[in-house]
Every structure is written in structure tokens, then in C-alpha cells.
Amino acid sequence: MYSDTISISYFRKDAAFDTLYPIHIRELSQMHWTGLDISLEASNFLATPGARILDIGSGVGKFCIASGVYHPEATFYGIEQREALFNYAESAKAQIGVPNVQFMHGNLTNLDYDLFDHFYFFNPFYENIEPSIRIDYNVNTSFDLYNYYTLFIYEMLNKRPAGTRLVTFHAPEKQIPISYQLMNNSYSPVLKMWIKK
């Protein structure tokens, strides 16, 4: 941890970390942003030395920033399609000053996944099938998009080499290829850690 350069007070509880964001973003935290405890557990599994870890649907960057602080030996990347959320992530990263975190604004279908070693996702497609939990109305949502993104990620994960690590949070197992072995879900039944065989 970068304890000599980063204010540890942000990492004591989620409410403290969330002060990095405007109030309307804080109000979404419990439902949409990965908590600090989950970030620590997930990053402990994903952060092998030198690893490049991608958060698919990184939102305001909470997982990447916290994980980057917890694990300076790895680099955390986030891809987010909403420009406003990408901008909040960049702002929070600048306030914390964590050098091993990078955010990208764009669609997950336009990435070169060979640039990444391991993956994290907190069910980023669910708002497509549950309109009541939408973050906003700035992107299109539909059952078709849910199915499209789910299949895209499934096929991408299936092409990864053996040893690829994956952590899912609140994600259905049907999104995970059978080539991945569940290694741990003892911290929470909805936090699952996988390795490709």
C-alpha cells in the first residue's frame, strides 16, 4: 500500500471513500460500486506480480483505485462506456494519486483483451434487464444488449489462456465458461474467484 503518499483515511470505510464523488454518485454507491471490503478480497486473488487486471464496466473507478492502492505490484484498468462516470473515475484517481490505475472511456466490445491478464466484473449488464436499478438514462438498455454482452464476455473469457484469473460479484454462473474452475467463494456467496484450467 502507498501509505507514505496516500491518505489512508479514504480507505477506512466506504462512506469516507465515497466523499471523492458528488452526492448523486455517492447515493448510487451501495447498489452500483464495489465496496472496499470486496475490492480487497478480489484484488488479493487477482493481483499476481506484474499482472494487468481489467475491471469490465468500471463505473466511477472505485474497485480499480482501491485495488491499485492495496496492490502496487499490479496494474488495474477500467473500461466504462458512460463518459460522466469515466470522468468521475479520473477525478478520484487524481485526488488519490495512485499511479498503477488507468481508465478508458469506451465500449467493452472494442478492446484488445490480449492486453490483460486477469478480469473483474460486478455484473455490469444487469441494468439491461432490471430498469428499476438503472444508473441513468444516458445509455440504451435492453434484453438484447444483456444477451449480446453476456455472450461477448463468455466467448472472450473462453479464449483466455490457462491460468487466467477471474473474479465475479453478483454475476450469474451462466456467464462463466465451464473451462473456469471455482476456487473460492467463502467470503461471500456472491463473490466468486475463478481460474481457467
Q: Beta strands 191-196 and 180-184: pairing type?
A: antiparallel
Q: Is 35 a domain residue?
A: yes
Per-residue pLDDT of 50-102, as tens digits, reads 999 999 999 999 999 999 999 999 999 999 999 999 999 999 999 999 999 99
Q: Is 84 a domain residue?
A: yes
DSSP string, 107-137: -GGG--GGG-SEEEE--TTGGGT-GGG-S-S
In this structure, what C-alpha cell is assigned to residue 70?
492495496
* Residue 121 structural domain: 8-196
Return the SS3 of 157.
Answer: helix
The counts of H helices and E strands in the chain are 7, 7
Could you tell me the pLDDT band of residue 129, with boundaries at 50, 70 and 90?
low
Residue 18 in this model has a pLDDT that exceeds 60? yes
Could you tell me the pLDDT band of residue 5, with boundaries at 50, 70 and 90?
low
In this structure, what C-alpha cell is assigned to residue 77?
484498468
Q: Which residue has the higher pLDDT, 12 or 5?
A: 12
Distance, in Å, from the CA atom of 146 to the CA atom of 94, rounded to the nearest integer, reads 32
Could you tell me the pLDDT band of residue 4, with boundaries at 50, 70 and 90?
low
CATH code at 187?
Answer: 3.40.50.150
Residue 151 in this model has a pLDDT that exceeds 80? yes
Distance, in Å, from the CA atom of 70 to the CA atom of 197, rounded to the nearest integer, reads 27
Rounded average pLDDT over 35-64 = 97
Q: Is 3 a domain residue?
A: no
Distance, in Å, from the CA atom of 100 to the CA atom of 75, rounded to the nearest integer, reads 5
Residue 132: predicted pLDDT? 63
Q: Is 21 a domain residue?
A: yes
Type of residue at 136: D
Overall domain count for the chain: 1
